[in-house]
Structure 1
């Protein structure tokens, strides 16, 4: 296949798809009409029939029949045409404001042509004059039709004044509010020679009807691709994401571009064509028009190869070259194109978009605040005005700790409620909403939380934002926020598949009374804790267990309230719970479980229903059989699991089939004798214990629970050690 950086002189390489503004069909016009047309912007076109319509510019010259003018049609609000017509003696204007540049006896002048009137020039103005018409420039025409496009982030680049010889035209796509992606060849005939910096010629990017200056070009070494930084932000236009997956032969792409068509030049709106991928190399993509579609033409260089993945439009490449067969001014011929891959340029894009502190913009332009460097980079990365909002401060140094910040009013707000903070150690990160309020209450960057180290990220029940010293969690739907240390001081734990993914998760209560979900990740590790309750309302509750008490196949949470009520929180299998109901609700013994020392859950009777085991303060061990109704006060007789009070010295009890015989066993962590397992008999009783761990180190554990975290059919054990941290032990079984 052809390289996207091949030399322009290689005969096997398609020509560049950059618009050079050469007048299409100039040789034929010279042969047919004796007029030399050179370059233009497509808005002043020569017409062969002066009677084809009203409102024409008419040029009278001695090189043709003096009674027959050479006619031009001007369209749009403005236009430019470079040409050469000798022996001109009169020009008649149209409805535009028109200026004509002439060389009269070697002197170049520009004159105004009155609207719809004749203006004598050359010998028409002076018998000794001999004028050559060099340029026509129009302005004041009808306002341009608003740009309408399926892809509003796609715009037009002009390098130099549009239509002038030596100027260049391309297509580019906004990839964040300050940056657009295009082809490096837009700025030079040799993309490999392009260096980073401001373009040598005044250049603009026009998108959404506004022309914005180009401040900097960042070429990609070895490929015909470049990022351009604009002089000001583009609000109100959603940028397009750059793809991360490679194209493959047979892929179909939509390509919107401002190139010529078979009959048109300088379109006001991008034309979109469909191409099918042929060969794909490490850096390039060969493509051809889909059945019945058109070739890519001059002006389409830099146009994006768009596809939709997961409902998101993304750019997989940018147009570099095209054979342009059948385009305006070109003979029929090849229709294939060569584009540059961009799917693997993530590192280059990130590096290019990382701005230093010397790079600043003011937003809104002229009246707004100034954002600089990494603060500006983060603002743009997160979507700029459309998502972060309007800056309410300049980029400002933090007062105590070394760093910088800027505050913003989020969309729809008139007051600052969002901030971006930066330090050399953490980089720049956004803090907003309730998280920002909690951080402020704890001293901003000068408090124990320090600077932010992550953005707010969603989880099962809310969000989490990381800071140097801890994190802030929010809980939906109230968005209540609270600050926490990374090492949670957990005091109680239970386990079960609370998220419905087939892997057990841990649920803990910390010493501040917050309830947490620790989702299983690999089966041998637990993920970041997720806040399960919007407040510290679990303070004082230290006895929890888990199982399917309602019989719906979902893991429920059971807790003993401080007054002794036994409550069940039915699980939703997505990390959330329904409101609690009484698991034991007899009026005469509502607070019965105030005398419970430990509770644990499992199918000890072998009927497929979750039972509740209770170690009472006096040391007796009983089982309340389950019936899948979410109630235990159902008339079923309690079962004494062990005949005496030996378990008075037990610290924690857990349940799981650790002997592998299909019957639920009871694990015991003794106050001084370590970790043992009491095998179940499948009828609600347990038998003599066997040791689970060779030493007595488990006697220091605060709490423990058994469940299958790695989904291999064997129970694992999660424990809380004296420092409040969680530890996971896969596939524990008796020694």
Structure 2
């Protein structure tokens, strides 16, 4: 069997040139020769079965729905060219995650349905058919491996005396040198070696009780591995990941929204809940109340990519919580500083304000009103309708068609009402409303989606009422199926003029940069 060859790079490090460690061309699966860690220690390590036993590799869970591994695991001829095409793997691939002992119960067994390779190194992201629960993904290292540093390699490949081991093994290695995309390793612990089946497995940095991914196993000499003959060399080459951490994160974020059943999202609110406006980078966040009473906060992303508007999610309330009794919500700035808050109209007519909402939950709860009359507050939205205030105002559409404005909404409760429209049938047909900044007016505009599908922008709504209207979708338009919507600054940290829509079929779309001339584009971000 050919061994690994050495070629000179600018840093004189070992590079990936020969047979990959763990990509087989026939039957048995073939891991790091070393110790057997406790079952829970590296639960993020995955065993990859490629082609129903034709090949075996190792991977690492870096996101609930994504693994990272070696591209050579999926290449047609990995010994000559480790590159692989993007898309579905050519051979059926199954990942077993969270099960150190493959013969034991527990963990998850999930199909790999998509590959996203790097062109500059032996690395690929592998999307799982469904998210993995109960296993915490590994953190990606931010610092380059340095000479003399110890890394722990983990894998499910063959050992010195097992062709097909049933559990992962781990061995200690020392960094000999680091190149632009690779790192050369030599074993530190006795008997450690990267063997067939370990390709794609993690090389981990462990310090101060923290574990992070420094590199991914690529090739090795395989000395000490069963079937290596007289070979004694045990050096290995792993692929660096620290300098592609942003690529890993952006790839994983593609499935962030698709993990949820959006047919069950019935209330949406946008706001700078996690401090986005303060740091000048992150865009608005999205708060979702699901039909089961759970609440999720999606943190706004920093990149201006309409396809990936959010960068993380946080569970603020579990299913069956009191939030199942919320009938209307809106985000806004109510304290003239800090993160945004939330106003909630509950089923019993109570109106509650949370001065701030963040990743830890809801803060500074205050009851603004509690009368039976507020049970008839059909729709609510917060915006700067009053002009001179540093706090947002509350606009309410009542069940009888009245439209009211409560200016300068602070913690002293719902104060003097300004009636913008008297009770009539017109506003009883309003199905969705949200405040935004579409026209450049001095005060907030109001977006209304009517029952018949017509969608209208009212520019510069203030205490004197409505000042014209612009129809951006006609009667009987497809927007009759727009079940829930909200307006926010989701693609740029500027003004809230992006419209996010949840449709009755569960799809989620984003319409960036809406203005007085209407809707200009649509990006589907979840289906």
Range class of TM-score, shorter chain: 0.5 to 0.7
The structure, 1 or 2, with the larger RCO (C-alpha pairs under 8 Å, 6+ apart) is: 2
Compare 641-650 and 512-521 and name the one that shifted more.
Answer: 512-521
Do the aligned partners of residues 432 and 491 (structure 1) sit closer, same or farther apart at CA in structure 2, a change above 3 Å counting?
Answer: farther
Q: In 2, are the aligned partners of 1:493 and 1:719 still within 8 Å (CA)?
A: no
Given candidates 219, 224, 242, the residue that maps to 2:5 is 219
Q: Which residue number corresponds to residue 663 of structure 1? A: 443
Q: Does 1:496 align with 2:157?
A: no
Do the aligned partners of residues 361 and 730 (structure 1) sit closer, same or farther apart at CA in structure 2, a change above 3 Å counting?
Answer: closer
Separation in 1 of the partners of 2:487 and 2:133?
Answer: 29
Compare 496-505 and 576-585 and name the one that shifted more.
Answer: 576-585
Unaligned runs of 5+ in 2: 59-67, 74-88, 115-125, 137-256, 278-282, 518-527
Q: Tell me, what secondary structure is at the counterpart of 1:727?
A: strand
Any residues of structure 2 matched to 1:11-410 within 5 Å, and which?
A: 196-197=2-3, 218-220=4-6, 222-223=7-8, 283-284=9-10, 317=11, 340-341=12-13, 348=16, 352-354=20-22, 356=24, 357-360=28-31, 364=35, 387-388=41-42
Any residues of structure 2 matched to 1:451-530 within 5 Å, and which?
A: 451=111, 467-470=128-131, 472=133, 485-489=259-263, 490-502=265-277, 503-518=283-298, 519-520=300-301, 521-525=303-307, 526-527=309-310, 530=313
Given candidates 325, 348, 352, the residue that maps to 1:563 is 348
1:384-417 deviation per Cα after TM superposition (whole angstroms, max 9, x unaligned):
98942899xxx899xx9999999xxxxxxxxxxx
1:443-497 deviation per Cα after TM superposition (whole angstroms, max 9, x unaligned):
954xxxx45889xxxxxxxxxx97413454899xxxxxxx995443222222122
Separation in 2 of the partners of 1:349 and 1:640?
Answer: 75
Separation in 2 of the partners of 1:584 and 1:644?
Answer: 23
Given candidates 421, 428, 436, the residue that maps to 1:642 is 421
Given candidates 326, 339, 357, the residue that maps to 1:554 is 339
Q: Tell me, what secondary structure is at the counterpart of 1:491?
A: strand
Do the aligned partners of residues 553 and 675 (structure 1) sit closer, same or farther apart at CA in structure 2, a change above 3 Å counting?
Answer: same
Q: Does 1:676 align with 2:337?
A: no
TM-score by length of 1: 0.39
Separation in 2 of the partners of 1:405 and 1:580?
Answer: 51
Do the aligned partners of residues 652 and 350 (structure 1) sit closer, same or farther apart at CA in structure 2, a change above 3 Å counting?
Answer: farther
Separation in 2 of the partners of 1:716 and 1:613?
Answer: 19
Q: In 1, are the aligned partners of 2:329 and 2:342 still within 8 Å (CA)?
A: yes
Q: Which residue number corresponds to residue 365 of structure 2? A: 581
Over aligned residues, Cα RMSD in angstroms? 4.7
Do the aligned partners of residues 386 and 690 (structure 1) sit closer, same or farther apart at CA in structure 2, a change above 3 Å counting?
Answer: closer
**CA-CA distance at 1:655 after TM superposition:** 0.7
Q: In 2, are the aligned partners of 1:567 and 1:580 still within 8 Å (CA)?
A: no
1:116-157 deviation per Cα after TM superposition (whole angstroms, max 9, x unaligned):
xxxxxxxxxxxxxxxxxxxxxxxxxxxxxxxxxxxxxxxxxx
**CA-CA distance at 1:618 after TM superposition:** 1.7
Do the aligned partners of residues 591 and 429 (structure 1) sit closer, same or farther apart at CA in structure 2, a change above 3 Å counting?
Answer: farther
Separation in 2 of the partners of 1:516 and 1:487?
Answer: 12
Q: Tell me, what secondary structure is at the counterpart of 1:584?
A: strand
Compare 486-495 and 639-648 and name the one that shifted more.
Answer: 486-495
Larger-gyration structure (1/2): 1
Separation in 2 of the partners of 1:604 and 1:451?
Answer: 51
Q: Which residue number corresponds to residue 431 of structure 1? A: 98
Q: In 1, are the aligned partners of 2:270 and 2:287 still within 8 Å (CA)?
A: yes
Do the aligned partners of residues 541 and 470 (structure 1) sit closer, same or farther apart at CA in structure 2, a change above 3 Å counting?
Answer: farther
Given candidates 579, 591, 597, the residue that maps to 2:378 is 597
**CA-CA distance at 1:719 after TM superposition:** 1.2
**CA-CA distance at 1:682 after TM superposition:** 3.3
Any residues of structure 2 matched to 1:620-635 within 5 Å, and which?
A: 620-627=402-409, 629-633=410-414
1:11-53 deviation per Cα after TM superposition (whole angstroms, max 9, x unaligned):
xxxxxxxxxxxxxxxxxxxxxxxxxxxxxxxxxxxxxxxxxxx
**CA-CA distance at 1:549 after TM superposition:** 1.5
**CA-CA distance at 1:543 after TM superposition:** 1.6
Q: In 1, are the aligned partners of 2:44 and 2:135 still within 8 Å (CA)?
A: no
Q: Tell me, what secondary structure is at the counterpart of 2:98?
A: strand
**CA-CA distance at 1:624 after TM superposition:** 1.7
Separation in 2 of the partners of 1:557 and 1:401?
Answer: 53
Q: In 1, are the aligned partners of 2:43 and 2:98 still within 8 Å (CA)?
A: no
Q: In 1, are the aligned partners of 2:23 and 2:57 still within 8 Å (CA)?
A: no
Do the aligned partners of residues 665 and 353 (structure 1) sit closer, same or farther apart at CA in structure 2, a change above 3 Å counting?
Answer: same
Q: In 2, are the aligned partners of 1:491 and 1:724 still within 8 Å (CA)?
A: no
Separation in 1 of the partners of 2:515 and 2:359?
Answer: 28
Do the aligned partners of residues 593 and 529 (structure 1) sit closer, same or farther apart at CA in structure 2, a change above 3 Å counting?
Answer: farther
**CA-CA distance at 1:563 after TM superposition:** 2.9
Given candidates 391, 401, 406, the residue that maps to 1:619 is 401
**CA-CA distance at 1:672 after TM superposition:** 0.6
**CA-CA distance at 1:652 after TM superposition:** 0.6
Q: In 1, are the aligned partners of 2:352 and 2:367 still within 8 Å (CA)?
A: yes
Q: In 1, are the aligned partners of 2:287 and 2:296 still within 8 Å (CA)?
A: yes
Separation in 2 of the partners of 1:389 and 1:642?
Answer: 60
Q: Which residue number corresponds to residue 532 of structure 1? A: 315
Given candidates 701, 707, 710, the residue that maps to 2:488 is 707
Which contiguous aligned blocks of 4+ residues in structure 1 show a shift greater than 6 angstroms? 400-406
Q: In 1, are the aligned partners of 2:29 and 2:55 still within 8 Å (CA)?
A: no
Given candidates 467, 491, 501, the residue that maps to 1:687 is 467
TM-score by length of 2: 0.53
Do the aligned partners of residues 530 and 575 (structure 1) sit closer, same or farther apart at CA in structure 2, a change above 3 Å counting?
Answer: same
**CA-CA distance at 1:353 after TM superposition:** 4.7
Do the aligned partners of residues 360 and 576 (structure 1) sit closer, same or farther apart at CA in structure 2, a change above 3 Å counting?
Answer: closer
Do the aligned partners of residues 470 and 360 (structure 1) sit closer, same or farther apart at CA in structure 2, a change above 3 Å counting?
Answer: closer
**CA-CA distance at 1:515 after TM superposition:** 2.1
